A and B are shown apart, each in its own frame.
Chain A
Amino acid sequence: MPVNPVTCDPLSSSDLLRASARRRYWRGRVQRVLVAAGASFVLLGLFAIPVYLVAAVAASRASVGVDWAHLGLLFAGSLRATACAIAVALPLGFATAMFSAHFCAPRLRAWLKPALEMLEAVPTVVLGLVAATSFAPWLKSHVATLLALLVALPALLLAAGFAFGRPSRHDGWLPLSVLPLLCAIVAFGLWLSSRAQAPWIVPASPWNATLVGLALGVAALPLVFSVAEDALFLVPREQTQAAFALGATRWQALTTVVLPAAGAGLFAAALLGIARCFGETMIVLMASGNTAIGGFDPLIGLRSLGADIALGMPDAAPASAVWRDLLVATLALLASTVLLSLAAGFVRARLQRRLHAGAAA
Chain B
Amino acid sequence: MNGTRAATAATWMLGGLVGLCIATMLGLLFFTLGSGLASLRPGTLERITLADGSSRLAEVVADDGNALLLRTSETRRLGEGYERVRRGDVVARSEPVDAFMIGLGDGRRVLGVGDDAALAAAVGSVGALARVVEVLRPNALGAFEGAGIFLRRLARFVATPPDASNLAGGVLPALVGTVTLVLLMSVLVMPFGVAAAVYLHERRGVGARIVRTAIDTLAGVPAIVYGVLGLGLFVHGIGAGIDRWFYADRLPVPTFGGGGLLWAALTLALLTLPVVVVSVEQGLARIPSSLRDGSLALGATREETLWRLLLPAARPAVLTGFVLAIARAAGSVAPLMLVGMVKLAPASPLDGAFPYLHPSRQFMHLGFAVYDAALASPDAIRGVPRAYACAMLLVCVVIVLNLSAILLRNRLRDRYRALES
Contacts and interface: CB of A to CB of B under 8 A. Distances in A.
Are A and B close enough to touch in the complex, i.e. CB under 8 Å? yes
Interface stretch (A197-205, A234-242, A246-254): A246-254
A245 to B, nearest CB: 17
A310 B332 CA distance: 13
Interface in B303-334: 303-304, 307, 327, 330-334
A60 to B, nearest CB: 11
Nearest to A338: B217
A340 B35 CA distance: 37
Given A34-B195, A96-B17, A99-B18, A251 B221 contact: no
B127 interface: no
Interface stretch (B7-15, B112-120, B130-138, B157-165): B7-15
A306 B331 CA distance: 17
- Chain A contact-residue range equals 35 or more
A342 B215 CA distance: 12
B43 interface: no
B387 A129 contact: yes
B112 to A, nearest CB: 31
A257 interface: no
Contacts of B195: 34-35, 37-39, 41
B367 A314 contact: no
Contacts of A327: 228, 232
B16 A167 contact: no
A165 B395 contact: no
Interface in B40-58: none
Interface of B: 3-25, 28-29, 31-32, 35, 64, 191-192, 194-196, 198-200, 202, 207, 210-211, 213-229, 231-233, 236-237, 270, 273, 277, 301-304, 307, 327, 330-334, 337-338, 367-368, 370-371, 374-375, 384, 387-388, 391, 394-395, 398-399, 401-403, 406
B130 to A, nearest CB: 29
A286 B302 contact: no
Given A123-B367, A175-B21, A313-B231, 9 more contacts: A118-B399, A118-B402, A161-B12, A167-B4, A250-B7, A281-B222, A286-B374, A330-B224, A338-B220
Contacts of A127: 28
Contacts of B391: 125-126, 129
A123 B330 contact: yes
A231 to B, nearest CB: 16
Contacts of A100: 18
B387 A158 contact: no
